[in-house]
């Protein structure tokens, strides 16, 4: 064995080289830290000198403000009608209010309240509405994407690893830095990019007051699929082009009751999944269909394919959480209340007002009414009365999506309640067909 004392010592030349490298690294680190501190200070000064312009608060005694933004899920988009763009309640509202008002439809089929909350800053920045009509919550019964991370963790729906927990703690601490938020939003794309030609970094600075809180919770499961879905309007929204054809084939096969081919196509899609980012509300719907219709053996095959493609946390979120939500409605209610609080705050910071609508089927109606009372939020009662003559004519399927007549009835009931509460001047009856044979319940 060689005695350690006999080992050759580093030569003076090597020692000098190591010393110079160490000094350079130390000097570079100090310069970098000083630069970041200076950038932080400059950004804070810039923000202080350039406050976000505030809109004049809307006059809710006259709903004919210049822009009305409608947000929500498939009940806002118009699913159930053969012509959702023309028959949706926002389209009917546009017809009733006339050309002096712009009504924007940002309905997102399958979206839960958390997904709507995540994209609300982007829509506000793009459209600058005076009033935001929100019909949200029904998909909280199955869709966990974008939900409050802490609530999901508390209920055991996700079990983050030590590494993930550590990253989340670091994220929350770093969120106090303007530089960190600036870098976060310029790489994430959600909310900061908005519309127009400005670089994403400038978009962040322009709308910093809106975006300073969104993302602070580190909700890594926020929905990333909206932009793709919006571009394709109905095509499956995964950004992974390798799985899109298989998802579409699976959906069509389910609709034509070709269960075997639907499961084969879905398994092919799952074998090409890259991670949680490939999941959207559309994919969750296919998983729900597979569980409801496939044998236990075939369904387990699908799950085994996914286990090989997802980390354990993401796997539980996509395959277990949707069914837990369906069986435990209290969690969906907590999600909705949390998201409504955030949405109201975001909208009011823009000088606009969030106005809640109730679902025609009365889903979450009591929560909507209680939130409106406790938080001072305006609310329009658009729940249908089952005692109406021809009540069933309003729905595509029992207590499901509305049909064209149902959406027209929803819009008219919205307008009636808005007038009753003083939001509207007298309706121009000639702008919407209110014939009692066409709109049951009148």
Q: With cut-offs at 50, 70 and 90, classify the pLDDT of residue 331.
A: confident
In total, how many domains does the chain have? 1
Using the predicted structure, report yes or no on whether residue 207 has a pLDDT greater than 60: no
Q: What average pLDDT does the segment 283-312 reach?
A: 91
Query: Is residue 220 very low, low, confident or very high in pLDDT (cuts 50, 70, 90)?
Result: very low
C-alpha span between 385 and 369 (Å, rounded): 16
Cβ neighbours of residue 117 under 8 Å, at least 6 residues apart?
A: 146, 339, 342, 343, 346
Tell me if 241 is assigned to some domain: yes
With a pLDDT cut of 90, the percent of the chain lying above it is 28
Which residue is it, tokens 């209290």? 330
Two tokens, residue 301: 């095959």
Structural domain includes residue 20: no
Which residue did the predictor score with more confidence, 239 or 277?
277
| Distance from chain centroid for Cα 71 | 10
Which of 84 and 239 is assigned the larger pLDDT? 84
Is residue 172 in a domain? no
To which residue do tokens 């988009």 refer?
A: 77
In a domain, 282, yes or no: yes
Rounded to whole angstroms, the Cα distance separating 68 from 206 reads 22
- The answer to whether position 377 is within a domain reads no
Name the one residue in this structure whose structure tokens are 């609080």: 341
| Residue 155 falls inside a structural domain | no
Alpha-carbon span 229 to 240, nearest angstrom: 12
Q: Which CA distances in Å does 37 have to 41, 62, 209?
A: 6, 48, 21
* Helices 329-349, 113-127: inter-axial angle, 10-degree rounding: 10
Higher pLDDT, 195 or 175: 175
pTM confidence score: 0.74
* Length, in residues, of the chain: 442
Confirm whether 261 is domain-assigned.
Answer: yes
The boundaries of the domain holding residue 323 are 226-327
Provide the pLDDT confidence category of residue 168 given band limits of 50, 70 and 90. confident
76 in any annotated domain:
no
pLDDT at residue 153 in the model:
75
- pLDDT tens digits, one per residue of 397-437: 765 889 999 999 999 899 888 888 877 665 554 344 444 33
- SS3 for the chain is CCCHHHCCCCCHHHHHHHHHHHHHHHHHHHHHHHHHHHHHHHHHHHHHHCCCCCCCCCCCCCCCCCEEEEEECHHHHCECECCHHHHCHHHHHHHHHCCCCEEEEEECCCCCHHHHHHHHHHHHHHHCCCEEEEECCHHHHCCCCCCCHHHHHHCCCCCCCHHHHHHHHHHHHHCCCHHHHHHHHHHHCCCCCCCCCCCHHHHHHHCHHHHCCCCCCCCCCCCCCHHHHHHHCCCCCCCCCCCHHHHHHHHHHHHCCCHHHHHHHHHHHHCCCCCHHHCCHHHHHHHHHHHHHCCHHHHHHHHHHHHCCCCHHHHHHHHCHHHHHHHCHHHHHHHHHHHHHHHHHHHHHCCCEEEEECCCCCCCHHHHHHHHHHHCCCEECCCCCCCCCCHHHHECCCCCCECHHHHHHHHHHHHHHHHHCCCCCCCCHHHCCCCCCCCCCC
Q: Which of 60-74, 183-197, 207-221 has the highest mean pLDDT?
A: 60-74
Q: Could you give the CA distance from residue 362 to residue 382 in angstroms, rounded to a whole number?
A: 9
């Amino acid at each position: 064995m060689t005695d350690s004392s006999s080992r050759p010592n580093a030569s003076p030349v090597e020692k000098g080289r190591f010393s110079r490298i160490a000094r350079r690294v130390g000097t570079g680190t100090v310069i970098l830290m000083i630069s970041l501190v200076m950038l932080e200070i400059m950004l804070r000064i810039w923000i202080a000198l350039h406050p976000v312009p505030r809109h004049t608060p809307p006059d809710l005694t006259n709903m004919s403000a210049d822009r009305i933004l409608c947000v929500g899920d498939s009940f806002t988009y118009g699913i159930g009608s053969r012509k959702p763009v023309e028959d949706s309640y926002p389209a009917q509202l546009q017809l009733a209010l006339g050309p002096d008002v712009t009504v924007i439809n940002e309905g997102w089929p399958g979206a839960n309240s958390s997904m709507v909350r995540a994209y609300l800053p982007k829509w506000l920045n793009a459209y600058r509405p005076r009033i935001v009509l929100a019909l949200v919550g029904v998909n909280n019964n199955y869709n966990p994407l974008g939900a409050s991370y802490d609530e999901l963790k508390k209920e055991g729906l996700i079990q983050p690893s030590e590494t993930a927990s550590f990253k989340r703690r670091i994220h929350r601490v770093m969120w106090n830095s303007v530089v960190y938020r600036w870098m976060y939003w310029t790489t994430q794309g959600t909310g900061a990019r908005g519309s127009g030609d400005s670089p994403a970094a400038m978009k962040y600075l322009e709308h910093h007051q809106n975006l300073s809180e969104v993302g602070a919770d580190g909700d890594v499961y926020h929905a990333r699929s909206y932009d793709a879905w919006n571009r394709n309007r109905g095509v499956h929204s995964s950004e992974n082009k390798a799985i899109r054809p298989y998802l579409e084939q699976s959906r069509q096969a389910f609709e034509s009751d070709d269960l075997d081919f639907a499961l084969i196509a879905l398994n092919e899609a799952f074998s090409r999944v890259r991670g949680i980012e490939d999941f959207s509300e559309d994919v969750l719907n296919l998983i729900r269909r597979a569980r409801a219709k496939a044998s236990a053996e075939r369904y387990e095959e699908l799950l085994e394919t996914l286990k090989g493609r997802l980390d354990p946390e993401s796997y539980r979120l996509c395959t277990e959480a949707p069914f837990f939500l369906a069986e435990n409605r209290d969690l969906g209610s907590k999600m909705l209340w949390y998201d409504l609080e955030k949405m109201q705050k975001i909208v009011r910071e823009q000088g606009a007002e969030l106005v809640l609508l109730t679902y025609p089927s009365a889903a979450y109606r009591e929560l909507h009414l209680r939130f409106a009372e406790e938080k001072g939020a305006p609310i329009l009662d658009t729940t249908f009365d089952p005692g109406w003559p021809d009540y069933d004519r309003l729905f595509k399927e029992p207590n499901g999506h509305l049909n064209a007549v149902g959406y027209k009835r929803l819009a008219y009931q919205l307008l009636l309640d808005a007038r009753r509460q003083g939001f509207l001047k007298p309706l121009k009856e000639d702008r919407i067909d209110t014939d009692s044979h066409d709109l049951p319940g009148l």
